[in-house]
Amino acid sequence: MNSIQSLSKQFGNIAAVSGISFEVKKGEVFGLLGENGAGKTTTLRMLATMLKPTSGTATMAGWDIVKEPQKVRSSIGILFGGETGLYDRLTCEENIAYFGELNDMSRTQIKERIRELAKVFNMEDYLTRRAGKLSKGMKQKVAFARAIVHDPKMMSLLQDLMSVQ
């Protein structure tokens, strides 16, 4: 279970997030909805240990985001929408392997996991292509594979949804 209790983030005099609390149980799909500037991205960045909260506490996959950030990062997969963040000069396989290395996976584990993910995402024929030469859809597949290469307990996806009126 993930538990967020009175989480806040201040940037100078500006309260980006003010005392948010919620729980997400295993197997649940949870979304943060709100206007631009409501604090959704800041909240998710705190939960992913990319930003330290000003106050409050949270546990992700059972780990405290402030006291155990490395354990949090190794237990979650993060995929921010929009730009994929792939390294254009690296192949798909190299992009995925790099994130496996960042998560302390052995080369053998990385190769096996890349084979599994390539099959699941039907991208075996693309593994040796440079990421900069891929279609947007294929880049998204590679970015998703990269986010879950280490087989995280949970996945965080940040996607901006815009409504047309």
Sheet holding 63-64, edge to edge: 14-24, 2-11, 55-60, 63-64
How far is Cα 150 from Cα 58, in angstroms, rounded to an integer? 22
What single letter denotes the amino acid at residue 118? A
Average pLDDT, consecutive stretches of 10 residues, N- to C-terminus, the chain (165 residues): 94 96 88 88 92 96 94 86 82 96 94 97 96 92 93 74 45
pLDDT at residue 83, rounded to an integer: 63
Quote the pLDDT of residue 156.
74
Closest alpha carbon to 69 in 56, 51, 42: 51
Q: Same domain, yes or no, for 6 and 60?
A: yes
pLDDT for 165: 43
Domain that residue 114 falls in: 92-151
pLDDT given at position 153: 85
Same domain, 61 and 104: no
Q: Which of 67, 84, 102 is the last residue of a domain?
A: 67
pLDDT of residue 27: 84
Domain count, the chain: 2
DSSP notation for 95-163: HHHHHHHHTT--HHHHHHHHHHHHHHTT-GGGTTSBGGGS-HHHHHHHHHHHHHTT--SEEEEE-----
Domain-located, residue 127: yes
Q: Is residue 146 part of a domain?
A: yes
pLDDT at 163: 42
Specify the pLDDT at position 159: 60
> How high is the pLDDT of residue 160?
55
What's residue 61's pLDDT? 87
Answer yes or no: is 85 within a domain.
no
pLDDT of residue 30: 86
